[in-house]
């Protein structure tokens, strides 16, 4: 089914390439696409020097598949960040939208359409939160329910709310009353037969369409690049969702059925190494002199102060630069919102 989905998405009047991170999903898509093609396809990868760099793995896959591979080591500037924010019609806190836009630019220099591996993690339980809840003993399930550590509750706290309810109440000028703390309440989970299927449905209804696909769509459309996602063919998605959990994940690994189906065609390292994802080196970005200067301006003169309390913003700034590196994601969220508001001055209310 996946091979057929890839083949159908290669049909075009223009040249089609692939995004290739070196991870499981994009490697499978690239391998299948090249096997269907009459000539060498172009594949595209990006890395961040020593910070986050999967270029060697992508290069290995490209060599094995026989694609014409193009790669770029990405250096992100403040101007890149501003440009991306300018193209976003609403704020997006996912920092990887910036490098995604840069690799989309690289691809568009060669082809107008690419295939991606988006959707593989959600459909075949590739994320770590699936493994964390795999086959828990009864006593742990009971304890989790008592302490409100159920999969659903942890999903809300860990994946949907970077800022806790207490933090939001102190940060937002309206006490956070306008923020939807638990969007899972409006998701129909009745088709889920297991806790892991509930998590998968939450990912499919929230994370995938609300973050992952938004990021790819905005980043690619900046450069008039069409991105097609073979994993999201609806019949394949239905089939994958209804597979038993044990076909997809266990305590130590995800995407088990993909490994069984394609493991013989890809290097062992693709499935053996830890999932990395196309993230951004936030701590490095925030330490950049120009970025730090802009963040410094937020201490006393920020656009976001119309919505959040300045003393709380300053506390996050101070905490990060005093060595609390775990604050990087929260500080980036505030900085990204500030940049977006600056680039869209007068366009919001």
139 plus 179 within the same structural domain: yes
pLDDT at residue 27, rounded to an integer = 96
Count of structural domains, the chain? 3
Strand 113-115 and strand 68-73: pairing? unpaired
Last residue of a domain, one of 221, 239, 272: 272
Q: State how far the Cα of 12 lies from the Cα of 4, in Å rounded to an integer.
A: 15
Q: How far apart are CA 104 and CA 223, in angstroms?
A: 7
Residue 69 lies in a domain: yes
Which residues are within 8 A (CB) of 105 and not within 5 positions of it... i.e. 6 or more apart? 222, 223
pLDDT for the residue 178: 67
More confident call, 261 vs 279: 261
Question: What does R_g of the chain's alpha carbons equal in angstroms?
Answer: 21
* Each residue's pLDDT tens digit, 278-316: 667 889 899 999 999 999 999 988 999 999 999 999 999
Alpha helices in 193-233 (DSSP H): 195-202, 213-221
Q: Which of the 8 DSSP states describes residue 273?
A: S
Taking only the tens place, the pLDDT of each residue in 174-224 is 877 766 667 888 889 899 998 889 889 999 999 999 999 999 999 999 999
Could you say which of 222, 239, 272 is where a domain stops? 272
Q: What is the pLDDT at residue 137? A: 64
Report the half-sphere exposure of 55 (CA within 13 A, side-chain side): 15
**Residue 147 shares a structural domain with residue 293:** no
| Beta carbons within 8 Å of 152's beta carbon, 6+ residues apart | 184, 198, 199, 202
What average pLDDT does the structure give for the chain?
90
Structure token digits, residue 238: 């239905």
Residue 170 and residue 296 in one domain: no
Mean predicted confidence (pLDDT) in 1-30: 96
User: Could you give the CA distance from residue 144 to residue 166 in angstroms, rounded to a whole number?
Assistant: 21
Backbone phi and psi for residue 70, each to the nearest 5 degrees, phi listed first: -125, 130
Residue 187, burial from CB neighbour count under 10 angstroms (0-12, 13-18, 19+): middle
More confident residue, 22 or 146: 22
What was the pLDDT predicted at 159? Answer: 73
pLDDT for 272: 83
- Give the domain CATH number at 9: 3.40.50.620
Q: What percent of the chain has pLDDT over 90?
A: 68
pLDDT at position 344 is 94
On whether the CB atoms of residues 261 and 120 are closer than 8 A, the answer is no
| DSSP code of residue 303 | G
One domain, residues 332 and 247? no
3-state secondary structure at position 228: strand
**Within a domain: 277:** no
Co-location of 311 and 237 in the same domain = no
CB neighbour list of residue 149: distance below 8 Å, 6 or more residues apart: 143
pLDDT digits (tens, 9 = 90+) for 17-53: 999 999 999 999 999 999 999 899 999 999 876 666 7
22 and 101: one domain? yes
| pLDDT at res. 117 | 97
How far apart CA 251 and CA 159 sit, in angstroms, is 20
- Residue 211 has a pLDDT of 94
Specify the long-range contacts of residues 296-299, CB closer than 8 Å, at least 24 apart: 298/334, 298/335, 298/338
Pick the closest to residue 97 from 304, 345, 279, 337 (CA basis). 279
In terms of domains, do 21 and 106 share one?
yes
| 226 belongs to a structural domain | yes
pLDDT value of position 147: 61
Q: Indicate whether 223 and 98 sit together in one domain.
A: yes
CB of 227 closer than 8 Å to CB of 220: yes
Question: Same structural domain for residues 107 and 205?
Answer: yes
pLDDT band at 98 (very low <50, low <70, confident <90, very high): very high
Shortest CA distance to 159 belongs to which of 190, 192, 198? Answer: 198
- The whole-number pLDDT of residue 138 equals 61
Q: For the beta carbon of residue 335, count every other beta carbon within 10 angstroms.
A: 25
Residue-number span of the structural domain to which 318 is assigned? 282-343
In a domain, 312, yes or no: yes
- Considering only CA atoms, which of 150, 132, 124, 129 is closest in space to residue 251? 132
DSSP string, 177-195: TTS-S-GGGGS--TT--SH
Among residues 200, 217, 250, the one where a domain terminates is: 200
Query: Does residue 47 form part of some domain?
Result: yes
Q: How far apart (Å, rounded) are the C-alpha atoms in residues 275 and 127? A: 8
Same domain, 48 and 116: yes
| pLDDT for residue 6 | 98
Question: Does some domain include residue 246?
Answer: yes
Instruction: Retrieve residue 72's tokens.
Output: 């770029």
What pLDDT score was predicted for residue 149? 66
What are the tokens at 259?
A: 């490994």
Per-residue model confidence (pLDDT) at position 276:
66
| 349 located within any domain | no
Question: Is 348 domain-assigned?
Answer: no
pLDDT computed for residue 49 by the predictor = 67
Give the per-residue pLDDT at 165.
81
In the chain, beta strands by DSSP E? 16-19, 42-47, 68-73, 113-115, 226-228
Q: What's the pLDDT tens digit per position in 100-118?
A: 999 999 999 999 999 999 9
Please report where in the chains the tokens 């509930």 appear, as a residue.
198
Q: Do residues 317 and 307 both lie within one domain?
A: yes
Average confidence (pLDDT) over 261-289: 85
Q: Are 265 and 289 in a shared domain?
A: no
* Confidence at residue 136, expressed as pLDDT on a 0 to 100 scale: 61
Residue, of 347 and 310, whose pLDDT is higher? 310
């Amino acid at each position: 089914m996946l091979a057929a989905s890839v083949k159908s998405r290669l049909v075009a009047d223009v040249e089609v390439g692939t995004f290739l991170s070196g991870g499981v999903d994009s490697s499978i898509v690239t391998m299948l696409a090249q096997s269907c093609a009459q000539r060498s396809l172009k594949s595209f990868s990006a890395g961040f020097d020593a910070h986050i760099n999967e270029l060697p793995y992508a290069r290995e896959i490209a060599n094995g598949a026989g694609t014409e591979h193009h790669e770029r080591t990405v250096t992100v500037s403040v101007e890149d960040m501003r440009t991306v924010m300018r193209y976003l019609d609403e704020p997006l806190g996912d920092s990887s939208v910036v490098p995604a836009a840069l690799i989309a630019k690289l691809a568009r220099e060669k082809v107008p359409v690419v295939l991606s591996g988006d959707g593989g993690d959600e459909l075949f339980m590739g994320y770590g939160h699936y493994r964390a809840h795999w086959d828990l003993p009864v006593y742990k399930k009971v304890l989790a329910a008592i302490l409100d550590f159920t999969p659903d509750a942890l999903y809300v706290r860990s994946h949907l709310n970077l800022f806790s309810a207490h933090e939001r109440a102190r940060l937002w000028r309206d006490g956070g009353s306008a923020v939807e703390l638990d969007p899972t309440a409006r998701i129909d989970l009745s088709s889920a037969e297991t806790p892991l299927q509930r998590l998968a449905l939450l990912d499919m209804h929230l994370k995938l369409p609300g973050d992952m696909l938004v990021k790819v769509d905005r980043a690619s459309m900046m450069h008039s690049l069409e991105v097609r996602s073979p994993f999201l063919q609806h019949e394949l998605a239905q089939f994958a969702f209804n597979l038993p959990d044990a076909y997809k994940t266990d305590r130590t690994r995800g995407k088990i059925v993909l490994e069984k189906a394609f493991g013989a065609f890809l290097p062992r390292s693709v499935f053996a190494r830890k999932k990395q994802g196309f993230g951004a080196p936030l701590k490095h970005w925030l330490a950049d002199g120009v970025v730090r200067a802009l963040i410094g301006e937020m201490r006393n003169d920020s656009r976001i102060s119309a919505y959040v309390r300045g003393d709380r913003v300053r506390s996050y700034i101070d905490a990060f630069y005093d060595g609390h590196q775990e604050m990087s994601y929260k500080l980036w969220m505030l900085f990204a919102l500030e940049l977006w508001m600056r680039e869209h001055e007068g366009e919001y209310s």
